[in-house]
């Protein structure tokens, strides 16, 4: 299947770090940019979250296209998931249409209030008035399914995260990918919403911020473990699983060790790293 063909689904990771960007020599292999993934379905571009990784993705889109539509699906609006929005080049071009999706969040009246609320003084020097793109907003009701274009289905489920968050699944041309971060599991209890979202999926990412050993120290922060990702993959008969949302203190050496453990238990799976591109 040729990349960019009408039936291709490609997943690219532009940022895999959670909570805070992580520069430095110990974080170069997995990458230091915060959350951003690109899914290409034929001619449609779907972007999950807008951490610092979206800056480089925006540069690529501007360089490759004279015009286009971008679907930006936000899991929620914590800084590590939206801080790249003011630096996303397509937003400054009148040649682009950008549709922003998000589910209900504590403190936000609606999706249209999220970005202007973030881009205002004293937090940012300019408002969304500097954007030239055709910017529209789509309210998401977690648990419902939606369509993009004529052939893409988006499934949603609520996630267990302070203030609210939404997990997504993309179904296209017989292939599927699920984006599941940020969420906290209860030890010994399987999250049925996540299982339904990733059931029989070809590939999914999961919030692997912590280890099972570390989880009790972070109760209530809204994050899960790489081991729980493996358990969910088994419970849902899912395909490839990639650990995501690496904490800023998680070094390349530590992630390499986690990668080996995941790959040993689940073929074709491992730790998500910046620059990875996978065709389904």
Q: Look at residue 8 in the predicted model and tell me its pLDDT.
A: 82
Q: Look at residue 168 in the predicted model and tell me its pLDDT.
A: 98
Domain edges within the chain: 9-279
pLDDT at 277 over 70: yes
Q: What is the DSSP string of 130-151?
A: G--SEEEEEE--BTBEEEETTT
Q: Look at residue 52 in the predicted model and tell me its pLDDT.
A: 98
- What does the pLDDT average to over 200-220? 98
- What does the pLDDT average to over 33-52? 97
Q: Look at residue 123 in the predicted model and tell me its pLDDT.
A: 95
Q: Is the CB of residue 40 less than 8 Å from the CB of residue 14?
A: no
Q: Look at residue 3 in the predicted model and tell me its pLDDT.
A: 41
Helix pair 252-265, 226-235: axis angle to 10 deg? 20
- From residue 31, alpha-carbon distances to 25, 50, 121, 271, 279 in Å are 10, 15, 30, 11, 20
Q: Is the CB of residue 79 less than 8 Å from the CB of residue 113?
A: no
CATH architecture of residue range(s) 9-279: 4-Layer Sandwich (3.60)
pLDDT at 1 over 90: no
pLDDT mean across residues, the chain: 96
pLDDT at 2 over 80: no
Q: Look at residue 237 in the predicted model and tell me its pLDDT.
A: 98
Q: Is the CB of residue 120 less than 8 Å from the CB of residue 127?
A: yes
Instruction: Give burial (CB, 10 Å; 0-12/13-18/19+) of 237.
Output: exposed
pLDDT in tens, 108-162: 999 999 999 999 999 999 999 999 999 999 999 999 999 998 899 999 999 999 9
């Amino acid at each position: 299947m040729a990349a960019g063909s009408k039936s291709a689904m490609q997943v690219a990771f532009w940022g895999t770090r959670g909570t805070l960007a992580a520069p430095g020599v110990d974080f170069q292999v997995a990458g230091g940019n915060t959350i951003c993934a690109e899914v290409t379905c034929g001619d449609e571009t779907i972007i999950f979250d807008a951490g610092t990784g979206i800056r480089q993705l925006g540069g690529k889109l501007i360089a490759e296209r004279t015009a286009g539509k971008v679907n930006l699906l936000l899991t929620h609006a914590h800084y590590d998931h939206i801080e790249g929005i003011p630096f996303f080049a397509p937003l400054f071009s009148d040649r682009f249409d950008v549709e922003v999706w998000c589910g209900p969040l504590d403190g936000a009246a609606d999706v249209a209030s999220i970005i202007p609320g973030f881009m205002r003084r004293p937090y940012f020097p300019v408002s969304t008035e500097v954007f030239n793109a055709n910017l529209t907003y789509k309210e998401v009701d977690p648990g419902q399914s939606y369509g993009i274009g004529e052939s893409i289905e988006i499934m949603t489920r609520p996630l267990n995260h302070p203030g609210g968050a939404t997990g997504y699944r993309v179904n296209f041309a017989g292939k599927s990918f699920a984006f599941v971060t940020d969420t906290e599991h209860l030890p010994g209890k399987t999250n049925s919403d996540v299982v339904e979202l990733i059931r029989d999926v070809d590939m999914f990412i999961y919030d692997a911020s912590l280890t099972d050993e570390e989880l009790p120290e972070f109760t209530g922060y809204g994050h899960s473990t790489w081991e729980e990702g493996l358990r969910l993959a088994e419970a849902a008969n899912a395909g490839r699983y990639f650990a995501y949302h690496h904490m800023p203190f998680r070094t390349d050496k530590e992630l390499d060790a986690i990668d080996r453990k995941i790959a040993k238990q689940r073929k074709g799976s491992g730790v998500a790293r910046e620059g990875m591109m996978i065709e389904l």
